[in-house]
Chains A and B, each alone.
Chain A
Amino acid sequence: GAGVSQSPSNKVTEKGKDVELRCDPISGHTALYWYRQSLGQGLEFLIYFQGNSAPDKSGLPSDRFSAERTGGSVSTLTIQRTQQEDSAVYLCASRAGTGNQPQHFGDGTRLSIL
């Protein structure tokens, strides 16, 4: 079936605006993750959803960042009042089964804050 799908692939916005990034995981995958890839910080974990459990938000860098996962499928990552340091590639991954199964990544959304 289809892999992890992310949209948009590129987003350019002005500082201070809000942005929403979307992730469509692989069908049937119960776990969904958001990561951020930037030059200065490498690959960083942001947030993790597993089934109906409360999400692990321990990687969110500030309260401007939030995420939802509706109906156990599609997820939206929202960044409010964007700052230039938010510029990065935002990656979504999904996983079946337990933590020793591999995560499968989407192609990411490249976010540029002017």
Chain B
Amino acid sequence: GNSVTQMEGPVTLSEEAFLTINCTYTATGYPSLFWYVQYPGEGLQLLLKATKADDKGSNKGFEATYRKETTSFHLEKGSVQVSDSAVYFCALSFQKLVFGTGTRLLVSP
């Protein structure tokens, strides 16, 4: 079946550090890929998406590239802020979303 694997957290960084959260997927076919973010006490928000191979999704300084060869969709940001502290979910979709387990990011000043 379809599944998403993302790195265990928490990821703890200092402000302005470089962020990578790894995400790989298993799917029959070529799904759309998404990163969702959940800030403390809030609901799930779409962060970025990519719908086909080599697409790069970007938003708020975050980027992820759809890599068909490695079945990956790693999330990166060049300089994190305290306000980026949240739980990040990688997900794939044909029609319904299949989520990874989430990675908690903690950014300290």
Contacts and interface: CB of A to CB of B under 8 A. Distances in A.
B94 A99 contact: yes
A12 interface: no
A112 to B, nearest CB: 16
Q: Which of under 10, 10 to 19, 20 to 34, or 35 or more describes the interface residues of A?
A: 20 to 34
B43 A99 contact: no
A102 B95 CA distance: 10
Q: Which of under 10, 10 to 19, 20 to 34, or 35 or more describes the interface residues of B?
A: 20 to 34
Interface in A15-56: 31, 33, 35, 42-43, 45, 48, 50, 56
B101 interface: yes
Given A43-B89, A100-B32, A50 B95 contact: yes
Contact of B96 (A45, A91, A104, A105): A45
A61 B32 CA distance: 25
Contact of B43 (A56, A59, A108): A108
Given A42-B99, A42-B102, A43-B99, A91 B43 contact: yes
Contacts of A33: 96-97
Nearest to A50: B95
B44 to A, nearest CB: 4
A42 B44 contact: no
Given A91-B43, A105-B45, A100 B99 contact: no
Interface of B: 32, 34, 36, 42-46, 49, 51, 89, 93-102
10 A-B pairs with least C-beta separation: A43-B99, A100-B32, A107-B43, A105-B44, A100-B51, A99-B95, A102-B46, A45-B96, A42-B101, A105-B43
9 contacts: A43-B89, A43-B97, A45-B96, A48-B96, A91-B44, A99-B32, A99-B94, A100-B32, A102-B46
